[in-house]
Each structure stands twice: as structure tokens, then as C-alpha cells.
Amino acid sequence: MDSILKVTGLTKKYEDNYALNKVDFELKRGEIHGLVGANGSGKSTFLNILFGNSIIRETGGYSGEIIIDKENTYIKDTSSAVELGIGMVHQEFALIGDLNIASNIKINRENLNKKTEKILGKDFARVDVKRNKEDSEKALSILGIDIDPSLKVFNLSTNIKQFVEIAREIDKVNLKILMLDEPTASLNEEDSKLLLSSLKRIKEQGSSIIFISHRLEEVVEICDRITIFRDGEVVSSYSKEAFDIPKIAMDMTGKKVVKTLRKEKDIKENILLSFKDVEVNYGQRNTKGISLDIYEGEILGITGLAGHGQDIFPYGLMDVYEMSGDVRFNGEKIVPGDIEDITKKGIYILPDERKEMGLLLDSPIWKNIVFSSCHLSTEFLKIPWFKSFSPLKSNAMYEHTDNMIEDLNIKCRDKYQLVRELSGGNQQKVCLARAITTKPKLLFVGEPTRGIDLYSKELILDMLLETNIQDKVTIVVSSGELGELKRICDRIVVMYEGKVFDILKPDDSDQAFSLAILGARRVDSEK
């Protein structure tokens, strides 16, 4: 097999830091090549260079040689990357919600009416909507998706959005290389499987694929070869016969990963927060009669298929969803949506949409970590009596930030680096650091490990357990990663169609969980 892409000595510097240092890489025609590495190891930078992302150009370009299809090229921007036959599926969705599926799939490659094109030129030619639709249907059918392409994208569920994005790439006639940056991060297991099998189909059609994922099981399953990145360098590369998950994990981190596991603890049924017969409205959905008790000192997991309401409790309290009914915290009635009162009482909510709701992207790390605490407590205030007008204790804040950066292994230049410049996983850690800094009584966390490498994952899970036991914080984790929930939670709630379907113990069998997630009642002998 000849190679479609050959990279030699690829180097990228951000100011003084090497994001990539002399990377050599080869992609053979018709293979699926996995890229793995910890957060901030340079995988995303690598893809950004290949796709001509404007960040690369604005920060001084790259050096090194890129040979595509035996031709030496310099990728200067996205459109030249597209011309070279490179397609990319982004980690965060790159879809336009206001447009319909067909327009998203055919964006910048619209079918044009020939006559108007001749008279008015390319820009002002009429778009042939019908042919766009046909092409879209064709691309979607390769992925095994049957959906009307005239639906608007913002109404679609996360998994369908992911497929639309892939359909956009495979619709390109000259597609040679398809790059996917963690396509399965926001999918549940069922959809991940569907996606992986469609990748195999795309490969059979002759495109080569670069695949990034933190789920090593997936990578091992579908890839023909794997290259491992660490700190901007390629550490090792394996082909199919030599795949060995522990060894790959070891190469990624340079350290042995110890899986976190909770210790059995005694939870008294002392209710901290209770929802009784609550009604929730979100989007077009309305669910009545939801009840849930959260006990003091426990870690409660909430799971379920996407769209079945894993996030109604935190979002209801935050007023993202409309929630009404009897909600009591420590026996005291609270109004869902009155976020100021709720945080003052000691409930802190970390939503899963960290970029949109959780972070000040253009502020430095230290500010992100302490800013909630400055509002909520007097810890960092010089003259607490002045409240919001008090000057701040800079030294205490900096020291605290440094500790947090070390404890959570946040990869950054220093505490003054802007959060926008951090990789996804490190941003998540900053979020978590902020939540812990406020010392809440009850902490809601949404998808704490989404898009995070396996080493940092354990750090975060560890941190949650530690906060739970040492600081006596009750934690509610909503996540689709059942395996992780089972390791850290004392009880796991399974949501189905917006309601609490069942509450299981972490040591219940996998089968019991799968049944509950799919909404099948278990036989009530053990209950």
C-alpha cells in the first residue's frame, strides 16, 4: 500500500512552547489510523495544521514537510486543505443550526444552476436546492441514517448532528483524507457503534481516515495502525498485530495509570436535597411527577441515553429548563431557577456545556478558578465587610491557583494563560477547580470526563472522590459513561423518558443497567 499523506519534521511553536516537535507521520491509502495521546499532547494541533486552521496561520505558521498524494504542499488555509481533499469532523460541532441538513452538508460546495452560473458568475448563481437534497440523502445513506434533509439542524439530537457532520465530509467528491477529532466523545455506546461501523464503510469506499479518540477500546477495534503522541512528539507507533491497550496507555502518559475506585462508605438516609413531584419543561418536552432524594454525603450518578433527561436536575435549578414544584434543600424550600439564592445556600452547578456556560474563555486561568468564590465567600476578600467592593487578596488567589494547577495536572504555560488557549480536557479541569474552590455543600457535575484522556480522567475522578470524602461535599454526577459512574458512585439513577426510572447500586450487574437504560422494568423480586 502506498502512502496518501506523509509528514516529516512537522514543528509548530506557540511563542516559546513547542506544541509539535519534529513529528513524522505516515498515512497509508485506505487505512484507519488512530492518534492517541493525553490532553495537550499535540493531536489537535496536528489536525489543525493539516486542515489549515486560521489559528496556525495567525500564530506564525508551521515548519516541516507535508506530502499529499506524492505532492509536496504547504497548507496555508482551510480552503486549500479542502482542495487537497482533506475533510475534518471537529470535536465541537461545526454545523450551522439555522440552516437545514442539506445546506449544511453542501455548504461551500452547493450545486448551482448552470444557466444562472453562466450569466451571473459563481457567487450569484442560483443554488439548486433539489440536487443538494439528493446528494445529502446519498451521503447520509452511506452512514446508514434515514432522515429528511430539509430539517433544520438545531432541532437535531447530538448523535444525528455528528452524522450530519460526517456526511458533509464524505459528500466531497475528492475526499482523500478524513480526519475525525473525537467523534464519539458526545455519543452514547449505541451510537458510537453505529459510527464506527460507518467509518469502516467509508474506508471501504477508498478514503483514508485519521481517527482521534480517548476511548482506547474503540481505537483498537477499528484502527489499522495507531500513533501515540506525548508532549508534542510521536512516542511510538503500532500496527494491528501489536495492539496492546495497557502498553498504549503507558506510552501515552509515561506513567502507569491506576484506576480510581471508591471505598465502601456508610450513607445515612439523611436527605440533603429533595425533588418532589416536580414538573420540567424543556424544548418541546414536558415531564411531570419527577421525584428524587439526594442523601447527604453520597456521590449520586445520573445516567441514561442522550435526550432522556440526565441533565434536568441541574438545568432545572439553573433555569435553563423551566422547573416548578416542591424542591427542598436541608428541609428548606427553594425556588428552582433562583440561581443566586441556590448558590448562596451551597449548591454549585457545573453544566456539561463548559464552553457556553461554564468558562470565561478570554480570562486567565487564575481568574476562572477564583471568580465564583470571590462572589460567594469571603475567602479572597481583603475587607470582607465591603462585600463586592472589597479589594482582593491577590497572593492568596495566585497561591490557590498554583495548587489547583498542580493537584489537577492542568497543562498550561502558567496561571496567566487564557483559558481559550487550553485544550478541551484542561478547560474541564479548570471548571472543576473553580467548583471545588467555592467549597459547596452539594455539587452538580455534568459529563466531567467528556473529551478527557484516560490519565487525567482518573485524576478528575480521584478529585471528585477526595472532595466527597475529605470536604464532605455531596456530589451528583450526570454522565453517559456508566463504567466511571459505577466506580465512584454510591447510587446510580437511571433516567428514561425524562423521569427517574430506577435507582441502582453500583455493584448491580451490567445487564440490570442496560435493561434499565432501555426502559425495561426489572422483575421486582429484588427490589
Partner 1 sequence: MEKYKRYLVPLFFLVLSIIGIIGAGVSMNFVLSELYARFVRNGIFVIALLIPIMAGMGINFAIKVGALAAHTALIIIADNQIYGLKGFLLAILISTVLSVILGNIIGYILNKAKGKEMITSIVIGFLATNLYQLLFMVGYGTIIKAKNSEIMLSRGIGLRNNIDLAEFKKLFDGILTIRVGDTNESLAPVIIIVVVALLVYYISGSRIGHHIKAVGGNINTSQAVGIDTNRVRRIAIVISTVLASLGQIMYIQNIGMLNIYTDHLNIDIFSAAALLVGGATLKNANIRNAFIGVLLFHTLFIVSPLAGQNLFKHAALGEYFRSFLAYGTIVFAFIMNLRYESESKL
Interaction site with partner 1 (CB under 8 A): 53-54, 77-79, 81-82, 90, 93-99, 103, 107-108, 110, 112, 116, 120, 122-127, 129, 168, 282-283, 320-321
**In the complex, what is the shortest distance from the CB of residue 212 to partner 1, in angstroms, rounded to a whole number?**
16
Cell (9 digits) for 413: 504555560
Query: Are 276 and 291 a contacting pair, CB within 8 Å?
Result: yes
Residue number, 129 or 250, with CB nearest to partner 1: 129
> 351-380: b or e for each residue (b if 16 or more CB lie within 10 Å)?
bbebeeebbeeeebbbbbbbbbbbebeebb
**In the complex, what is the shortest distance from the CB of residue 131 to partner 1, in angstroms, rounded to a whole number?**
13
Q: Walk across the sheet containing 71-73 and list its strands.
A: 17-28, 3-14, 63-68, 71-73
Please state the separation of Cα 258 from the chain's center in Å.
Answer: 23
Residue number, 153 or 369, with CB nearest to partner 1: 153
What value, to the nearest 5°, has the Cα angle with vertex 506 and ends 505 and 512? 70
**In the complex, what is the shortest distance from the CB of residue 403 to partner 1, in angstroms, rounded to a whole number?**
34
**In the complex, what is the shortest distance from the CB of residue 228 to partner 1, in angstroms, rounded to a whole number?**
27
**In the complex, what is the shortest distance from the CB of residue 79 to partner 1, in angstroms, rounded to a whole number?**
4
Residue number, 103 or 192, with CB nearest to partner 1: 103
What span, in angstroms and rounded, lies between the C-alpha atoms of 466 and 393?
26
Residue number, 97 or 483, with CB nearest to partner 1: 97
- Which one, of 376, 347, 369, lies nearest residue 475 by Cα? 347
Contacts of 24 (CB under 8 A, 6+ apart): 7, 8, 9, 10, 234
What span, in angstroms and rounded, lies between the C-alpha atoms of 480 and 304?
6
User: Which DSSP category does 143 fall into?
Assistant: T
Residue number, 18 or 282, with CB nearest to partner 1: 282
Contacts of 508 (CB under 8 A, 6+ apart): none
User: 6: part of which helix (H) or strand (E)?
Assistant: strand 3-14
**Which residue in this structure is represented by grid cell 448551482?**
112
Residue number, 125 or 495, with CB nearest to partner 1: 125
Residue number, 28 or 57, with CB nearest to partner 1: 57
Residue number, 79 or 197, with CB nearest to partner 1: 79
Reduce the DSSP state of residue 36 to 3 states and report it.
Answer: strand
**In the complex, what is the shortest distance from the CB of residue 94 to partner 1, in angstroms, rounded to a whole number?**
5
Residue number, 112 or 299, with CB nearest to partner 1: 112
Residue number, 110 or 484, with CB nearest to partner 1: 110
One DSSP character per residue, 226-255 reads EEEEETTEEEEEEEGGG--HHHHHHHHHSS
Residue number, 96 or 392, with CB nearest to partner 1: 96
What span, in angstroms and rounded, lies between the C-alpha atoms of 136 and 168?
8
Cell (9 digits) for 2: 502506498
What span, in angstroms and rounded, lies between the C-alpha atoms of 127 and 132?
8
Query: Are 328 and 274 a contacting pair, CB within 8 Å?
Result: yes
- Which one, of 208, 229, 215, 202, lies nearest residue 35 by Cα? 229
What span, in angstroms and rounded, lies between the C-alpha atoms of 253 and 216?
13
Residue number, 139 or 248, with CB nearest to partner 1: 139
**In the complex, what is the shortest distance from the CB of residue 282 to partner 1, in angstroms, rounded to a whole number?**
6
Q: Tell me the sheet residues that pair with 334.
A: 327
**In the complex, what is the shortest distance from the CB of residue 218 to partner 1, in angstroms, rounded to a whole number?**
24
